[in-house]
Chains A and B, each alone.
Chain A
């Protein structure tokens, strides 16, 4: 019977099982279906045209041969389709079962700045002693920044080589320390100081000095100022408070050491060292082998500072301290370059600041 069929159809018939097996998905199976049994231009369609023009005596046999072939193709296609559909279903089933090893969606994580975190921590440490937070502007008057703090009129810090001044407001400057907040707060609380029972506060903030930017200098940095005014306040209260606070910060075994020093707005004045929190005072690179690290400057408030604010130094006395936030942050974290704190690289902020 085969001799009735054209050679290329016979070849296509022989190639069919392989072509069928080669179809890996339903799309390619659909294309194969079009080639063999499609309505137009398929092998089956060509066979039907052949049947139309065949001599009458051949039509019967030819028809039977064509039907057999078509049936074989259609069954093959149908079978393969069922196979492929089953495979797809099991693939879908596999895909829909969740693999817990896949990275789950996590909420975005931001970070506070490490300098702010350190200042927040200091506020937290002093809160139980009744300290609150006072703030002041960064653009200050010369009076608040210098005069009210017993800083002499011709002090070198006032020079334009050290302090930034405003061009059209020559009496205004960028505060060089957080100490003007002392002056502002004392002026504000002076009228009802007795009713308040003195005052105690921290003043964290940004300050400016005319330093070129390098690994250890920045024209802007942060300070935290602390001040307490009360009756009969002396050096013992400064020492007691700082011992408590620095132990809260660095651990219960921390020791502190006061050394005489000089700042115009305090008398007596001192520098305060802590036993090195990094080596436990055994001696390391940070404490240069001495076991001590300088951490802040402090002293009893100079009577002139109280007088400037209208507070009687014979009745009231107090202490004040000031510390550099970046210095402490660099010491604690061993950050080699101050500029990293102002670069605001997200990797640095994530690693150093983080969140509570």
Chain B
């Protein structure tokens, strides 16, 4: 909100002596940071950030109240003109509790226009003066005192005025020229022909004040904050008035603002008061709050004098009684945010200055909890993958349904994972797989000329269920491009599916992961993190004796059919060998060439034996023959 320095000084003369920086720091220390400054129409203005709970501060008077309380300096008097109330000129009926008070007046407008200084004030606040005194005065009052008012063309109102809930389907053309279809939860000002204004939000086009207006009907009321917020939101109509009523205006200001408005119209244009009257009354003051010395001391971090606290609260407009070790407090009519004792403690601290709060480390009251195993597992996994040469990505949890469908199983229906209000189709489904996101990150890197892409992500994926998307932590890994060839020893070769299997194995995944081809020379897999081993329960496992005798290694070159399952062959060979002596069996080379018999390939199998004694050549020969015989049963042959 823009605050003009001169107008502020008219409300709190003590602020005139502060320079812009001092004033900004003062406001920030009170909870109103200044976001910027500007000079318009020769007037200096500050852009003050006001939190949503402080509707009362959204005006020059509101800011002035805060500064006055902090500096312990007086506010300027309001200078309200004396307006004598009479019997109603027009019948006004309050038909809803959402409007407990409605102050009004009818005036015959005079000849003058809005004074230059008021026009400049409005321009400085980026508001546009209409040069119609009734409209500009209402606008000026809003910025200066924070109380929204409205002026109707009295001659265009038909019969009695009522403040009532709209009837379903009723329409109103608001001042912005848009026809609004109303609901029964919209509070309206209506005449006998129908709604003429959306209460606390915007006036109607049909009764607006123009140059032709001869008589005005002023409105200075108080509307329920929730009702105004709901209507503003329902019609996407956020105005200066709805902003202030929606955050809680001061009901006691209704009559005062009407008087100020009448006074301005009389002074600016010689308007003649026909009659002023008020329907309803200011709602009862809010409940009494109790602030105990112990709560105040607990929040503040040290015992504070209740007498001093009472003094601070009084400066803010509260009515305070000191009763033993507690304060009984009635907050002022403009402070709707003071609802509990903690709010009062905050006010005391705020005016005292947060810089006075002591700094203390909280005592430990119980044993700390360890970090959870799943959290530690993910920490370990990401470090392991980074050490294996992979880069950790962060991608959005929502992707396009097409990309998603290509990677999830058909039973994981996208329907249960779709957002109702996505940023766009490409961000509309909570992903069932990390691979589409990893693929686009990989493609980005390839487009940048990267030779080899190694990425991983640890993040949730979603599975549809009756209760909503189920989240499970998933690890996705992609690898593609050219591996090696960047030094004089390692030859360059394309990344292969088997490389990804090796990574899965290194991470402790049992069996083969489902490796997907994500593009030319780009592969990926994903596995649930819960399927990967957690840290063992024992820090150091139980000791298992190992042999100190030398191991014996034998290679068997086998001709096997193309398409032979390695798992099955290895299992058959292992079952023919003494498990206590077989240390390792693996394929160390694959040879495929036209020189081999058609449909065959050569696998070089390496067998390693070890026992708690020296192994004899003959017994190892026997084992190798047995392994060969087992392989031959599956169609393998010793390669000559």
Q: Contact between B386 and A165 (Cβ–Cβ < 8 Å)? A: no
Q: Does B416 contact A (CB under 8 A)?
A: yes
A269 nearest in chain B by CB position: B346
- With both beta carbons as reference points, the residue of chain A lying nearest to B467 in the complex is identified as A169
Question: Is A137 a contact partner of B423 (Cβ separation < 8 A)?
Answer: no
Expressed in whole angstroms, the minimum distance between the Cβ of B383 and any Cβ of chain A is: 7
Closest A residue, CB atoms, query B379: A120
Which residue of B226, B396, B469 is within 8 Å of A139 (Cβ)? B469
Interface residue stretch chosen among A27-35, A72-80, A101-109 = A101-109
Q: Chain B contacts of A343 at CB under 8 A?
A: 441, 444
CB proximity to B under 8 Å, residues A83-123: 102-113, 115-116, 120, 123
- A105-B490, A159-B233, A355-B387 given; A172·B354 CB < 8 A: no
Contact B361 A139 (CB under 8 A): no
Our pick among B229, B300, B418 for the contact of A167 (Cβ within 8 Å) is: B418
Q: Which residues of A contact B462 (CB under 8 A)?
A: 139
Q: Are A302 and B392 in contact (CB under 8 A)?
A: no
Whether a CB of chain B sits under 8 angstroms from the CB of A356 is yes
B383-401 CB contacts (< 8 Å) to partner A: 383, 385-398
User: Do residues B354 and A346 form an inter-chain contact, with CB atoms below 8 A?
Assistant: no
Whole-angstrom CA separation of A300 from B233 in the bound complex: 31
Which of the residues A132, A262, A355 comes within 8 Å of B368, measured between beta carbons?
Answer: A132
**Contact yes or no, A232 B298, CB < 8 A:** yes
**B52 interface residue, CB < 8 Å from A?**
yes
Contact of B361 among A108, A240, A341 (CB under 8 A): A240
> Which among A103, A271, A302, A317 is the interface contact of B298 at CB below 8 angstroms?
A317
Q: B302 interface residue, CB < 8 Å from A? A: yes
In the bound complex, what is the Cα–Cα distance between A342 and B395 (angstroms)?
6
Query: B565 interface residue, CB < 8 Å from A?
Result: no
- Which A residues touch B342, using CB under 8 A? 267-268, 300, 302-303
B392 and A111: CB pair below 8 A?
Answer: yes
CA distance A110 to B229 in the complex (A): 52
Among A143-195, those with CB < 8 Å from B are 154, 156, 159-161, 164-170, 172, 174, 195
Of B343, B362, B364, the most chain A CB neighbours within 10 A belong to B362
How far, in angstroms, from A244 to B359 measured CA to CA in the complex?
9
**Given A110-B387, A132-B371, A160-B420: A237 in contact with B31 (beta carbons within 8 A):** no
Q: Which of B297, B350, B363, B445 contacts A345 (CB 8 A)?
A: B445
Q: Which residues of A contact B430 (CB under 8 A)?
A: 139, 166, 174
Given the complex of chains A and B, what is the CA–CA distance between A118 and B349 in angstroms? 33
Chain A residue contacts of B372, Cβ below 8 A: 132-133, 135
Q: Which residues of chain B have C-beta atoms less than 8 A from A172's C-beta?
A: 468-469
Are B397 and A174 within 8 A (Cβ)?
yes
The answer to the question of B599 belonging to the interface, with a C-beta cut-off of 8 Å to chain A, is no
With contacts A164-B421, A239-B359 taken as known, whether A112 is within 8 angstroms of B427 at the C-beta atoms is no
The answer to the question of B358 belonging to the interface, with a C-beta cut-off of 8 Å to chain A, is yes
Given A341-B394, A343-B444: A210 and B421 interface contact (C-beta under 8 Å): yes
Query: What is the number of residues of chain A that contact chain B, defined by CB distance less than 8 Å?
Result: 95
Interface status of A235 (Cβ within 8 A of chain B): yes
A129 with B361, Cβ < 8 A, contacts A106-B487, A166-B420, A235-B299 known: yes
| Tally of B interface residues using CB under 8 Å | 93
Give the distance in Å from the alpha carbon of A271 to the alpha carbon of B49 in the complex. Answer: 13
Shortest Cβ distance from B498 into chain A, in angstroms? Answer: 16
A110 and B349 contacting across the interface, CB-CB below 8 Å: no
Question: A137 contacts which of B391, B421, B471 (Cβ < 8 Å)?
Answer: B471
Contact between A261 and B51, CB atoms less than 8 A apart: yes
**A57 on the interface (CB 8 Å rule)?**
no
Structural contact, B427 and A219, CB atoms closer than 8 A: yes
Q: Given A169-B468, A239-B358, A262–B51 Cβ distance below 8 Å?
A: yes
Comparing B135-143, B212-220, B448-456, the segment that makes contact with chain A is: B448-456
How far, in angstroms, from A131 to B441 measured CA to CA in the complex?
35
Write out the residue numbers on chain B whose beta carbons fall within 8 Å of the beta carbon of A219: 396, 423, 427
A-B contact count (CB 8 A): 258
**Contacting pair B360 A240 (CB below 8 A):** yes
One digit per residue, 1 when the CB lies within 8 angstroms of any chain B CB and 0 when it does not, for chain A 327-345 equals: 0000000000000011111
Return A200 CB to nearest CB of chain B, in Å: 8
User: Residue B422 at the A interface, CB < 8 A?
Assistant: yes
Residues of chain B lying within 8 A (CB to CB) of residue A232: 298
Q: Is A344 in contact with B441, judged by CB distance below 8 angstroms?
A: yes
Contact of B423 among A111, A169, A212 (CB under 8 A): A212
| Residue of B whose beta carbon sits closest to that of A208 | B397
Q: Does A45 contact B (CB under 8 A)?
A: no
CB-based contact A104/B301 at 8 Å: no
Whether the Cβ atoms of A353 and B391 lie closer than 8 Å is yes
Q: How near does chain A come to B47, taking the closest CB pair, in angstroms?
A: 14
Q: Considering the chains assembled together, what is the distance between the CA atoms of A130 and B362 in angstroms?
A: 10
**A159 to B229 alpha-carbon distance, docked (Å):** 12
Residue of B with least CB distance to A262: B51
The one of A135, A160, A213 in contact with B421, judged by C-beta atoms closer than 8 angstroms, is A160
- A235–B357 touching, CB < 8 Å: yes
A234 adjacent to chain B (CB < 8 Å)? yes
| Minimum CB distance partner of A134 in chain B | B372
Interface residues of A in 221-246 (CB under 8 A from B): 222, 228, 230-237, 239-241, 243-244
Query: Are B54 and A349 within 8 A (Cβ)?
Result: no
CB distance from A246 to the nearest CB of B (A): 11
Find out whether the CB atom of B28 lies under 8 angstroms from the CB atom of A235.
no
Residue of B nearest to A230 (CB): B365
Taking the closest CB of chain A, its distance from the CB of B20, in whole angstroms, is: 13
- Taking a contact as CB atoms under 8 Å apart, the answer to whether B299 and A197 are in contact is no
Partner of A206 from B31, B370, B397 at Cβ < 8 Å: B397
Among B308-364, those with CB < 8 Å from A are: 340, 342-343, 345-346, 349-350, 354-355, 357-364
A200 vs B367: C-alpha distance when bound (angstroms): 11
Inter-chain CA distance A165–B393, complex, in Å, is 25
Residue of B349, B370, B394 near A132 (CB, 8 A) is: B370
A244-274 CB contacts (< 8 Å) to partner B: 244, 257-262, 267-271
B487 touches which one: A103, A159, A213 (CB < 8 A)? Answer: A103
A355 and B383 in contact (CB under 8 A), knowing A138-B460, A344-B393? yes
B420, A165: Cβ atoms closer than 8 Å? yes
Per-residue CB proximity of B622-634 to A under 8 Å, as 1/0?
0000000000000
Binary interface profile of B, 407-441, with partner A (CB < 8 Å = 1, else 0)? 00000000111111111000100100000000001
A106–B360 CA distance with the chains assembled, in angstroms: 49
Q: Which of B358, B420, B441 contacts A170 (CB 8 A)?
A: B420
User: Which residues of A have CB within 8 Å of B366?
Assistant: 195-198
Q: What does the 1/0 interface line of B551-579 toward A look like (CB < 8 Å)?
A: 00000000000000000000000000000
A82 on the B face (CB < 8 A): no
Docked Cα-Cα span, A323 to B553, in Å, equals: 59
Q: Does B371 contact A240, Cβ atoms closer than 8 Å?
A: no
Query: Cβ of A284 < 8 Å from any Cβ of B?
Result: no
Q: Which residues of B contact A344 (CB under 8 A)?
A: 391, 393-395, 441, 444-445, 455
Beta-carbon contact of B445 and A166 below 8 Å: no
Contacts of A154 in B (CB 8 A): 226, 229-230, 233
Answer whether residue B117 sits at the interface, using C-beta atoms and an 8 A cutoff.
Answer: no
User: Nearest 8 pairs between A and B by C-beta?
Assistant: A197-B366, A236-B301, A108-B389, A260-B31, A197-B365, A130-B368, A268-B346, A262-B51
Could you give 16 example pairs across A and B, Cβ below 8 Å? A132-B369, A133-B372, A135-B372, A137-B471, A139-B469, A139-B471, A154-B229, A220-B397, A237-B360, A241-B361, A259-B31, A269-B346, A317-B298, A342-B396, A344-B444, A349-B393
17 A-B pairs besides A113-B393, A206-B397, A258-B354 with CB distance below 8 A are A102-B487, A102-B488, A104-B487, A110-B385, A129-B361, A132-B369, A132-B372, A133-B375, A165-B420, A166-B416, A195-B366, A200-B368, A235-B300, A239-B360, A259-B28, A345-B448, A347-B448
- Name A residues whose Cβ lies closer than 8 Å to a Cβ of B: 102-113, 115-116, 120, 123, 127, 129-133, 135, 137-139, 154, 156, 159-161, 164-170, 172, 174, 195-198, 200-201, 206, 208, 210, 212-213, 219-220, 222, 228, 230-237, 239-241, 243-244, 257-262, 267-271, 300, 302-303, 317, 341-347, 349-350, 353, 355-356
